[in-house]
Structure 1
Amino acid sequence: MTFNAVTFTVFLVLIAVVTVMGFVASRWRRAKQADRLDEWALGGRTFGPFVTWFLLGGDLYSAYTLIAVPAAIFSMGAFGFYAVPNAIVLYALGFLFLPKLVSLAHKKGYVTLTDFVNDRFGSKALSLAITITGLLATLPYLALQLVGLEVVFGALGIGGSGSWFVRDLPLLIAFGVLAAYTYSAGLRAPALIAFVKDGLTYLVVIAAVIWVPIKLGGFGEIFRKGGAALAGKTTSTLDPAIAVNPSVYLTLALGSGMAFFLYPHAITGVFASRGAKTVRRNMSVLPIYTVLLGFVALLGMMALAMGVKPHDGNPQYAVPQLLSAVFPPWLTGVAYAAIAMSALVPAAIMAIAAGNLVSRNLYRQYRTKPVSAKSETLVSKVVSVLVKVGALVFVLTLDAKFALNFQLLGGIWILQTLPTVLFGLFTKRFADRRALLAGLLVSVVYGTWAAYQVKSATGGPFGGSTAKPFFLDSPIYIAISALALNFAVVVLGSVLARALGAHPRAAGVAEEPVAASN
């Protein structure tokens, strides 16, 4: 990758602008009681429809999305388009349960999903399991944002040679800046930066879907050349039978969509909204982003048609190299800045979410002495920095494939918290807390084991997330088969508990959740 002074200058100026915005955000809508956790971590729960729309968009469409989705098209063809129906599923499911959950969060002061589980079921064991699952699913996701930054720096032609310190210096600087303004401003920083990030992303993607087809002779020519390029590929990392299997495509889209709003960082963005009506409106209009996602996916096909040869054979460089080849240097700088911001915004929210889980559901819950609001907030701030350090060490010391493989596992694990959330929100006396815990543990163990079995076939550690369950002849997304097992354990366990005459409180039934309000 070659260094271009104009591209780098534009990139640097835009990153400097959003860095200043990150620090200024600490004064944006600043509350009188700034030491409270929900002020720092949730922006005081004051974000209306407009701010929430940008914040959730910044949370959903990360650098990994902008790089990995077209990279999947570049490597596998149409199979990579599963991300589009995936987005449709997540908004529909969000419309179903998020308004009710947010209403409860406002009334009862929930900061994390574990707070809801604690209040609903009164089980420390179940709450601890939900907390640990959330942390384990978030950390590799955060690491992947730093991998996205690495790709941008590599495309810029900086930090690619010399000693390890010089090579990784750009990432170290970006980490330091991210950690500083997140510590200072909390969720207000990514919320403010998301305005710029989303605006630049729309600009770059729209420019690409107009500019590239003109250059290549139209979309018909793009698909013709891209199809020919795909036909000549030999894909060593994917089973060809799985790549075209409808059951994999459908279950991967369904499972990924159902899982997203269970991630701690997604819940953090939702809980920061003003109320149930704000969330309901956003679930109605956020599908506009799906149009953008479809265009982003098309960039992978355009890279194929352009004959892009990714740097070091890494398909994640396909989009940066495509944009560098077709855009003038200044617009390439804008594009790289948009991708970098798409790493910084979700990384900040993920770090805050991890800090909330540790401070609220580990430190506060298990500390024997009373915990003040100020100390709880301080712990969350410190942990938000520490998890970034952990993600940075992970990225710098291990192959990026490890982060991807663990993120795949994280997706399998986090979906297994769905029965607890749905039963907690929509049933009064059926779900038994012990059955919910058993279902979560059994499904996580099964999902991990199934992913490990895929490793044996592909040669990489936990190298896949699709396998044939015992009850089907076709491969499906492992998280879906684990979820089916999860629901079976919960239903059978709850029926057994009721048959044995378990007391409702012992069975984990708390007060009926309050109906959602506007």
Structure 2
Amino acid sequence: MQIASLHTTALVVFCFFFALVTVAGFWAARWRRPLKGMDSLEEWGLAGRGFGTWVTWFLIGGDLYTAYTVIAVPAALYGAGAMGFFAVPYAVVAYPYMMVVLPRLWQVCHRHGYITFADFVSGRYGNRWLTVAIAVTGILALMPYIALQLVGMRVVIGALGVTGEWPLAAAFVILAAYTYSSGLRAPAVIAIVKDVMLYGMVLAALIILPWKLGGYARVFELANNALAAHGATVYLKQGQFLGYSTLAIGSAVALMLYPHTATAVLSAKSANTVRRNAAMLPAYSFLLGMIALLGYVALAAGVVTKDTSSVVPLLFLKMFPEWFAGFCLAAVAVGALVPAAIMSIAASNLFTRNLWGEFLKRKMLPSEESAMAKIVSLVVKFGALVFVLQLPAPYAIEMQLLGGIWIGQIFPAVVCGVFTRWFHPWALLVGWAAGMASGTGMAVAMGLKSSVYPLHAPGFLGGGVYAMYAAVPALVLNLVVSAALTLVFRAAKVGEGTDVTDAAAYVE
């Protein structure tokens, strides 16, 4: 998006805060730096597993609530009405699930020095190809997610009136530089700055803007009238309930399986730190609910645009003084840097440990692992940059739809695996393939425009059409295939691999 007029004051404020964050990113290389340096994947990629409750809270929050969250969730409500609000209940569902699953995973991974969830699968099942499948799925799901952070930053830069792609490229060169030098410590420090800015932005927007527009009752009235013009409402309509609920449940399942979530969680210093974060992170759900309402506020404020991604920047520039609009847009842009850094680190951890390392005939030295991970993190960032610069933004959004479906398919191997070794590893691999193929097929059948698929039930099940999030039926098929083939392979005495994890690690 390009805006004819340059918002000079907003741009100056934006650049000031961006420079502040850049300094913080490079300074992070010295923060809690170990005496032996960061020449190991555990230090560079997990910050020595030393983050306490508050740093972990900011890191996971910065990891899950990204720039594209601030852009896309209000945009969904602006364009589709209540259906876009599913992001709030899915965050609520995710944290009890986090409380049950992730402390146990942290404990096993810490005991054995695992850096990724694919490391855990390798140790639990002893099957190279299942490990590779988990790693490839994670990397495939991450790449469009990183690209979406670039899309969010591009929208912000365009709203300020800056033309051309050089500012976006410059921002990610800076990001690549301080991530290379500081590792996970950089996004941890920046996440604190980002969250302070983001809370200030949202609280100001949700207090001042409705007051200017005549109160929340007036905002909902105007938003409902605007949505009615293209068949949407501020409330769910008949026929949307199943799609809405499965989007929430399926997204919650996927959220805790993304590699960047694993990286943030495994950097915590104890299982209790993870538990405390599961209890505290719902504060971000409150924040997310307020962010979502900005979509209705934009409708009430008369923001008109065909590009729904530009709704929030246009709202700020229209309703706030330029200096504060610049602060708000800087908060959104900084919100892109934190997750993009963590995601690139997570992808490089997976490649180094579970793709390259899995097929190397010798065990890599810690210094070799960290050196390779740093290079791969640069390749990942610049790959995402080229993707965004060369292809239209809808491509990244469409690929992200697939990413959410794909990452859910590692649930049986990772989440079920941390509670039981009952599933056969080869059965899990075939189940994963079935889930990936069916989920991708449903998304492609919808033209990659929606992840809600109208599933036709067979006659013996009563018939009917059930519109639901494609990841859910794909995961059900995955589990059914995995369970059925486990019985078959076990009866045929197919080798099950060796579980090298310590049984005591599963006992809290």
* TM-score of the two chains, using structure 2 as the length reference: 0.95
1:66 and 2:70 matched? yes
* Aligned positions, number: 497
Query: RMSD of aligned C-alpha atoms?
Result: 1.8
Q: Following TM superposition, by how much is the alpha carbon of 1:232 offset from its aligned partner in structure 2, in angstroms?
A: 1.1
When structure 1 is superposed on structure 2, of 465-474 and 193-202 the one drifting more is 465-474
1:195 and 2:176 matched? no
1:500 and 2:492 matched? yes
SS of residue matched to 1:425: coil
1:13 aligned partner, one-letter code = F
Q: 1:179 aligns with which of 176, 179, 183?
A: 176
Q: 1:381 aligns with which of 374, 378, 386?
A: 374
2:101 aligned partner, one-letter code = F
When structure 1 is superposed on structure 2, of 318-327 and 115-124 the one drifting more is 318-327
Distance 2:6 2:69 in 1: 25
Q: 1:474 aligns with which of 466, 474, 493?
A: 466
Q: 2:259 aligns with which of 244, 260, 264?
A: 264
2:391 aligned partner, one-letter code = L
**1:20 aligns to what?**
23
Distance 1:273 1:426 in 2: 21
1:411 and 2:392 matched? no
Distance 2:507 2:492 in 1: 37
**1:447 aligns to what?**
439
**1:458 aligns to what?**
none
Aligned pair in 2 of structure 1 residues 349, 326: CA closer, same or farther (>3 Å)? same
Q: 1:283 aligns with which of 255, 278, 282?
A: 278
Distance 2:503 2:67 in 1: 37
Do the aligned residues in 1 keep the contact of 2:59 with 2:187 (CA within 8 Å)?
yes
Do the aligned residues in 2 keep the contact of 1:79 with 1:243 (CA within 8 Å)?
no
Superposition map of 1:118-517 within 5 A:
118-159=122-163, 167-233=164-230, 245-310=240-305, 313-428=306-421, 430-455=422-447, 462-471=448-457, 473-502=465-494, 506=496, 509-511=499-501, 513-515=503-505
Aligned pair in 2 of structure 1 residues 424, 514: CA closer, same or farther (>3 Å)? farther
Distance 2:340 2:364 in 1: 27
Q: Following TM superposition, by how much is the alpha carbon of 1:514 offset from its aligned partner in structure 2, in angstroms?
A: 3.3
Identity over aligned pairs, percent: 46
**2:460 aligns to what?**
none
Q: Following TM superposition, by how much is the alpha carbon of 1:391 offset from its aligned partner in structure 2, in angstroms?
A: 0.4
SS of residue matched to 2:165: helix
Q: Following TM superposition, by how much is the alpha carbon of 1:75 offset from its aligned partner in structure 2, in angstroms?
A: 0.1
Aligned pair in 2 of structure 1 residues 513, 137: CA closer, same or farther (>3 Å)? farther
1:212 aligned partner, one-letter code = L
Q: 1:4 aligns with which of 2, 7, 14?
A: 7
Q: Following TM superposition, by how much is the alpha carbon of 1:245 offset from its aligned partner in structure 2, in angstroms?
A: 1.1
Unpaired segments ≥5 residues, structure 1: 160-166, 456-461
Q: Following TM superposition, by how much is the alpha carbon of 1:497 offset from its aligned partner in structure 2, in angstroms?
A: 2.4
Q: Following TM superposition, by how much is the alpha carbon of 1:510 offset from its aligned partner in structure 2, in angstroms?
A: 4.9
Distance 2:437 2:443 in 1: 10
When structure 1 is superposed on structure 2, of 364-373 and 419-428 the one drifting more is 364-373
Distance 1:507 1:435 in 2: 12
Aligned pair in 2 of structure 1 residues 419, 508: CA closer, same or farther (>3 Å)? farther
Unpaired segments ≥5 residues, structure 2: 458-463
Aligned pair in 2 of structure 1 residues 391, 179: CA closer, same or farther (>3 Å)? same
Distance 2:42 2:310 in 1: 38
Do the aligned residues in 1 keep the contact of 2:12 with 2:326 (CA within 8 Å)?
yes
2:469 aligned partner, one-letter code = Y
**1:164 aligns to what?**
none
